[in-house]
Amino acid sequence: MGILQNVKNAVRQRSIHVAYVDVGSCNGCDIEILACLAPRYDIEQYGIYVHNNPREADILLVIGAYTPGWADRLLPLWEKIPDPKVAIAIGNCPISGCLFARPGTLIHPPVAAHIPISAEVPGCPPRPTEILQAVLALAPEVFRDYEVRVL
């Protein structure tokens, strides 16, 4: 293992990088994720960074009911995230379709049928504390394969 890989592993042991994708939401869950970044919850103080670069992500948050436009886009996005990785379904939409799950609508929940989902946070929308709790609960899954050595 090279020095750069060691540095990368050490950094990953101390921070969690989260990307999120909206596959058809009403933006309610979106706002709760943004609230996690605001001063009240300030998740960066825990070493959790939210951005939208899947190649640097450890955890993918999925919000929204799965709409047809995502049929050939979500799985490739998931595959861009390096291992180890986990995905969390945020809100009722990716779990059941929520209020969009009506006859005649073109949605295809659950998201777990399209990519591997490790945890679900139900609610319409869930609270920021519940989202934060799920991210922290899955952090050991992300870090389990990393060996950190003193350089």
Q: Applying CB under 6 A, which residues contact ligand SF4?
A: 25-26, 28-29, 63-64, 91-93, 98-99, 124-125
Nearer to ligand SF4, 54 or 97 (CB): 97
d(CA 57, CA 11): 13
CB of 114 to ligand SF4, least distance (A): 17
CB of 115 to ligand SF4, least distance (A): 18
Nearer to ligand SF4, 29 or 57 (CB): 29
At 127, is the secondary structure helix, strand, or coil?
Answer: coil
The CB-nearest residue to ligand SF4 is 28
Nearer to ligand SF4, 54 or 109 (CB): 109
Burial of residue 66, with CB atoms counted within 10 A of its CB: 0-12 exposed, 13-18 middle, 19 or more buried: buried
CB of 53 to ligand SF4, least distance (A): 23
d(CA 138, CA 144): 10
Nearer to ligand SF4, 43 or 98 (CB): 98
| Residues facing 102 on adjacent strands | none
Q: Do residues 113 and 94 make contact, with C-beta atoms less than 8 angstroms apart? A: no
